[in-house]
Amino acid sequence: MELFFDLIFVAAVAQVGEPLIEEYTPAGLFRYAFLFVLIWWAWSGHTAYVTRFDHDDLPNRLLVLLQCFIAAVMAANAKDALDSRSSAGFGAAYAGMRIVLVAQYLRARRVRETRALTTRYATGFGVAAMVWLVSALLDAPARYWLWALALAIDFATPWLAVAHTRRFPPDASHYPERFGLFTIILLGEFIAAVMRGIESQEEWSVPAASTAFAGMAFAFILRWWYFDVAGGADRRHGRFDLWQYAHLPMFLGIAVAGVGFERTIAHAGGETWMLCVGCAVLTASIAAIGGTSGAPGRQVAGQVGLSIAMTGLAGAAGHLPGVVVVILLLGMVCSQTLLGNQPSATAARRLAA
């Protein structure tokens, strides 16, 4: 059921990303990032709940089914500009997602030890949901102000209950596993974007073929780095907050980079500077996730340094062929992964002993 739930949300991410393929610009990226944050926050809120309160009765399954349907409604209203009525419908659907989560937390109030936690979450998310609903009745720009207020309440709610969440954190094994599953599915969307770029080629050229291979290799290296080197889906022993929030730019970077590779394969060029920035954000996030898993500071610093170099590459990307840019990006992410794969001095001494 959890995997089915995740698939629904990644399908929503794909739907939100369709306009980005045509409008791969800062304005298009801003619109996409805003809607992506809402989808991720809705998914993350549900995931934190189900990994903290492990019950699988019929009412909970019906509530999960309702959330899946609401996610589909969000996706159906995700293709137009932020000042459109469909975007107002997206906000209203997100409010419905929050109302369902509030109902789940109210059900969990019968667990006496966590009653303070569930009350704070139900109150904060409930207030935010009401603001989201009111915003759907307004036109831009008044709607934007209510969106900002509602999003601030949404993100502030977990911090207002931080003392209780640290006493009763999500399951240390199950919660990271869910994030790992979501990562795998998003990497699948990355591969699908590369495939669409390949499909667009009627007559193959060496640059297009090289770019397509580099895109596939990039996804392969990312999977290796996240799971095997950074330990992103491993059992957590602390720093849950940093680890969780570092996934947001990582997930966003995977999606933006996937579209960038698709466009570069299809056009043998394009807005490669945005691809470089997306890859920089993505790789810096994985480095941060690795740092929460106990990676040595010098390795993390080296990985972040290469992410900064990717940002620097964005400035020169407009003067370089697309194939050169993606090969340089692939070389950097390979270097970051191999750097993180080096055993620390302590580990080396332990192996020698």
340/261 same-domain check? yes
Per-residue pLDDT, 344: 46
**What string of DSSP letters covers 265-320?**
HHHSSS-HHHHHHHHHHHHHHHHHHHHHTT--HHHHHHHHHHHHHHHHHHHHHTTS
> Which domain CATH number covers 224?
1.20.1410
Can you read off the two tokens belonging to residue 212?
Answer: 């397509």
**Residue where a domain stops, chosen among 122, 143, 167:** 167
Per-residue pLDDT, 270: 55
Let me know the angle formed at the C-alpha of 218 by 303 and 9, rounded to the nearest 5 degrees.
100
78/157 same-domain check? yes
In a domain, 313, yes or no: yes
In a domain, 352, yes or no: no
In a domain, 350, yes or no: no
Neighbours of 142 (CB within 10 A): 12
In a domain, 95, yes or no: yes
280/324 same-domain check? yes
214/323 same-domain check? yes
**What string of DSSP letters covers 159-212?**
HHTHHHHHHSPPPTTHHHHHHHHHHHHHHHHHHHHHHHHHHT-SS--HHHHHHH
141/33 same-domain check? yes
For residue 53, name the pLDDT band (cuts at 50, 70, 90).
confident
pLDDT in tens, 122-180: 999 999 999 999 999 988 889 999 999 999 999 999 888 877 777 888 888 888 999 99
How many domains are there within the chain?
Answer: 2
For residue 95, name the pLDDT band (cuts at 50, 70, 90).
very high
In a domain, 353, yes or no: no
Query: Which residue range is the domain that position 308 belongs to?
Result: 174-345
Residue with tokens 């999606």: 255
Can you read off the two tokens belonging to residue 338?
Answer: 């191999």
In a domain, 351, yes or no: no
Sign of the Cα torsion 300, 303, 309, 310 reads: negative
130/275 same-domain check? no
Per-residue pLDDT, 238: 63
In a domain, 161, yes or no: yes
**Residue where a domain stops, chosen among 167, 200, 217:** 167
131/257 same-domain check? no
Range 233-268 burial, b when 16+ CB lie within 10 A, else e: bbebeeebeebbebbbbbbbbbbbbbbbbbbbbbeb
153/189 same-domain check? no
Cα distance between residue 236 and residue 249, in whole Å: 19
Percent of the chain scored above 90 by pLDDT? 43
180/205 same-domain check? yes
Cα distance between residue 30 and residue 14, in whole Å: 16
Residue with tokens 């620097």: 312
**Residue where a domain stops, chosen among 134, 150, 167:** 167
Per-residue pLDDT, 97: 93
50/74 same-domain check? yes
13/45 same-domain check? yes
**What string of DSSP letters covers 76-111?**
HT-SS-TTSHHHHHHHHHHHHHHHHHHHHHHHHTTS
In a domain, 198, yes or no: yes
62/158 same-domain check? yes
User: Is the backbone peptide bond immediately before 176 cis, with ω within 30 degrees of 0?
Assistant: no
